Amino acid sequence: MSNLKNKSASPHILPSLPYQDNALDPAISANTISFHYGKHHKGYVEKLNELVAGTQFAELSLEEIIIATSGKPSMATMVIFNNAAQTWNHTFYWSSLKPKGGGEPPAMLKQKIEAAFGTLDACKKELADAAMAQFGSGWVWLVLDGVTLKVVKTGNADLPLTNGMKPLLTIDVWEHAYYLDYQNRRADYVKAVLDELINWDFAAKNLG
């Protein structure tokens, strides 16, 4: 995800959305984007800058902070990790979506998907099943693990980077990602994302 990597030290900035806030209507409304991006994502960035100021993490990039703080037992370090990871996860999520998404992946990615899952529909089903199986808040990811594509899920702020896997795309299944539009119907939100918004081009770009 070289196009998303924050290579500079703090203060970290809130990246611009890759589309207008109403561009994902009706699957995801501008109202949801205004809270999700304008409040939640913005809040993680601001809190991260506050937490790392004057610390050994102040001169590190976003990904370096995530790696340096992952799995550490101290509460202060865990809070830094959570805000850094959520900053990264959300930036990645916005690019995992696009207006008029879905459809067929680029040929190279489709070949990898079929090798791993059998069919594109089977891959989408595994993503949807993982999204529904994630208890509480978290994320569902299509990743490259070695040379093989896999679907994995992570709780809260956790992400595949810390386990040596390369994320290709993600679906946010925190309630704030869908509750204004779908209430408790997570399955309907995930289906809309996979059918109408998922950005296979972004996944193919990350595949390299």
What's the pLDDT tens digit per position in 91-125?
A: 999 999 999 999 999 999 999 999 999 999 999 99
Query: Are the C-beta atoms of residues 24 and 193 closer than 8 Å to each other?
Result: no
pLDDT band at 208 (very low <50, low <70, confident <90, very high): confident
Mean pLDDT for the stretch of residues 56-80: 94
Predicted confidence at residue 2, as pLDDT, reads 33
**Half-sphere exposure for 114 (CA within 13 Å, toward CB):** 8
Domains delineated in the chain = 30-95 (1.10.287.990), 107-207 (3.55.40.20)
Mean pLDDT for the stretch of residues 43-67: 96
Mean pLDDT for the stretch of residues 194-205: 98
Q: Tell me: pLDDT of 192 over 80.
A: yes
Q: What is the mean pLDDT of the chain?
A: 94
Cα 75-66-137 angle, rounded to 5 deg: 70
Cα 29-196-38 angle, rounded to 5 deg: 30
Identify the residue whose tokens are 């994502």: 41
Percent of the chain at pLDDT > 70 equals 95
Assign residue 116 a region (left: φ > 0; alpha: ψ between -120 and 50; beta: otherwise): alpha
Predicted confidence at residue 10, as pLDDT, reads 60
Q: Tell me: pLDDT of 3 over 60.
A: no
123: tokens are 């891959």
Q: Tell me: pLDDT of 73 over 80.
A: yes
Predicted confidence at residue 9, as pLDDT, reads 59
Instruction: Kindly provide the residue ranges of all beta strands, DSSP E only, lying in 39-157, ordered along the sequence.
Output: 138-145, 148-155
Percent helix, strand, coil in the chain, to 5, is 50, 10, 35
- Which amino acid, 198? I
Q: In what order do the strands lie in the sheet with 148-155?
A: 148-155, 138-145, 166-172
Residue 155 φ/ψ, nearest 5 degrees: -90, 150
204: tokens are 């193919």
pTM value is 0.94
Mean pLDDT for the stretch of residues 150-161: 97
Q: Tell me: pLDDT of 175 over 90.
A: yes
CA-based end-to-end distance of the chain: 9
157: tokens are 């702020």
Helix, strand, or coil here: 163? helix
Query: Are the C-beta atoms of residues 66 and 6 closer than 8 Å to each other?
Result: no
